[in-house]
Amino acid sequence: MPPSSAVALRGMALYPGWLDRPAQEALVADLRAVIAAAPLFAPHTRWGKPMSVRMTAAGRFGWYSDRRGYRYIDHHPGGGPWPPIPDRVLALWRALSGASRDPECCLLNWYGPDARMGLHQDRDEADFTQPVLSVSLGDDGLFRVGNQERGGPTESVWLRSGDVLVMGGAARLLHHGIDRIAPGTSTLLPAPGRINLTLRVVT
Ligand code: SIN
Ligand code: MN
């Protein structure tokens, strides 16, 4: 796999097409096993509204949200353990994150054709010196990145299947979100939709 060079996006490092098609297919097979062990669920916002993105996780922790707020929990909301992070996913982290520690959470977000994710910061982790690494699979997603403070100008880029994005250093706490996906732009998944993985050190 020829390493593509990183493109800077407000201090984030974007690796367009880092994963070729066979690597994407292998990852999807790993993720099917994760979803079989830890089914997707729809978290609720603090305000009690179900999110349009469905989620699950692998690793020591998964992210969870309800009226009590946003937090990491050490078991699936159904009661069972989170499955281990697949080796292929760990290898990506070790190759691209530049982090000193291994991830403790691989959050899996599933976007159906109408799902989106509002601008937010990833700040439920204890150590902001550790980056967040994101992997996009399936249909294109319109990623918006803003500033550390709320408001101000933003930039948007389409994240495509196989793209990897590292949010680290000064970019670790930038606001970001997904405005929409473009259903049918990828043939990787059997139905329209997008999978995003984010790998995080939690503690
Ligand atoms: C996230 O911020 O958790 C997900 C971003 C994405 O779906 O690309
Ligand atoms: Mn995020």
Residue 24: give the domain boundaries: 3-38+84-197
Closest-lying ligand 1 atom to the alpha carbon of residue 143? 8
Alpha helices in the chain (DSSP H): 21-37, 87-96
Closest-lying ligand 1 atom to the alpha carbon of residue 196? 7
Question: Mean per-residue pLDDT for 86-92?
Answer: 98
Measured distance CA(47)–CA(72) in Å, rounded: 18
Residue 129, pLDDT score = 95
Measured distance CA(167)–CA(133) in Å, rounded: 6
pLDDT digits (tens, 9 = 90+) for 10-37: 999 999 999 999 999 999 999 999 999 9
pLDDT digits (tens, 9 = 90+) for 107-164: 999 999 999 999 999 999 999 999 999 999 999 999 999 999 999 999 999 999 999 9
Query: Does residue 56 fall inside a structural domain?
Result: no
Query: Does residue 161 fall inside a structural domain?
Result: yes
Query: Does residue 99 fall inside a structural domain?
Result: yes
Query: Does residue 124 fall inside a structural domain?
Result: yes
Query: Does residue 49 fall inside a structural domain?
Result: no
**Ligand 1 pocket test target in 9, 14, 176 with most atoms within 8 Å of CB:** 176
Query: Does residue 202 fall inside a structural domain?
Result: no
**Residue 68 pLDDT grade (very low, low, confident, very high; cuts 50, 70, 90):** confident
Ligand 2 centroid from CA 76, angstroms: 19
Residue 189, pLDDT score = 98
Residue 1, pLDDT score = 41
- The CATH number of residue 146's host domain is 2.60.120.590
Residue 66, pLDDT score = 86
CB atoms within 10 A of CB 123: 9
Query: Does residue 143 fall inside a structural domain?
Result: yes
User: In whole numbers, what is the pLDDT of the chain averaged over residues?
Assistant: 95
Our count of domains for the chain comes to 1
Query: Does residue 149 fall inside a structural domain?
Result: yes
**Residue 193 pLDDT grade (very low, low, confident, very high; cuts 50, 70, 90):** very high
